[in-house]
Amino acid sequence: MAGSPTGVIPVNVSGTTRVVGLLGWPVEHSMSPAMHNAAFRETMLDYTYVPFAVKPDDLQQAVAAIRALNLAGANVTIPHKVAVMQYLDDIDEGARRIGAVNTIVNVQGRLIGYNTDGMGFIRSLKEQAVVITDAKVVLLGAGGAARAVVDALLSAKAEFVTIAARSGVKASDLASHYVKSSVSGMDWCSEEFNQKLADCNIIINATPLGMAPHSEEMPPVIWSSLAPNAVVCDLIYNPLTTRFLQQAKERGHKIVTGEGMLAGQGALAFQIWTNVPAPYEVMAKNLLQQIRDMFE
């Protein structure tokens, strides 16, 4: 499938080629290699992106190999985003706040960790002309993805973030890490949650509810309570249009699908490794085609 956006993208590997890795377990399903190699080809950079299946017990050796093999850097995915932090030389302030790393850059043997997930989501919103400044946001879920998104929303000047989850205790615990006046946490079955829906500008599903093969699941949102002009977002991209988004669309809400966050975080990582602006449109198009080929 030479030349296909979803196939193996040919690269001319030589003694000067910089290698970027992906550390995860498993990695066979990852769409990042094709997306990043498409970007390297578009920018004519002498880089290549290779997935590495790293068992949790082998993570320390894998990180050491970034130095030993002089890799340009790496992405880090499940289940290593938290554990990898202890093996790095330095961690960006944002990644430290979030408590997880998804991108490593090798600067002359010094490994620095970043987290581009949250800001990748912000970029996906801006690409869809969604206004974040002064927005009142309802975020569904209190896991790792939610933590990255809350941090990014506050950095982008959202006015208020309500974290709602099946466990009100877990949501409140996450909210406690932030300034009390701008973040709150609650049970998503509470009456207070419905009141927040009526006042929000953006609602985001940061849970796995609705992800294939359990595509019929969705968070318990009472649509009649949601502000009519609220933008509805989902971090899930398999399927591209979740049941949550489909119901929102049927009710006239603007929707933002999950592949934009994946493309956005990848574009930010690309720039960290190369110091070259990422070809975001190429990356997003490649990713969208991969998703369509796999899930539709």
Interatomic CA distance for residues 161 and 211, integer angstroms: 24
Distance CA 95, CA 113 (A): 7
- Tokens in use for 202? 């953006």
Q: Find the length of the chain.
A: 296
Name the nearest CA neighbour of 110 among 61, 56, 71, 62.
71
Burial of 238 (0-12, 13-18, 19+ CB in 10 A): middle
Q: Which residue has the tokens 């949601």?
A: 226
What's the CA gap between 278 and 39, in Å, rounded?
Answer: 7
Nearest Cα residue to 22 out of 109, 100, 65 = 65
| 12, 14, 16, 20 alpha-carbon torsion, rounded to 10° | 60
Catalytic residues: 81
CA atoms of 140 and 146, how far apart (whole Å): 8
Q: How far is the CA of 191 from the CAs of 33, 243, 251, in angstroms?
A: 44, 23, 22
Amino acid at 244: F
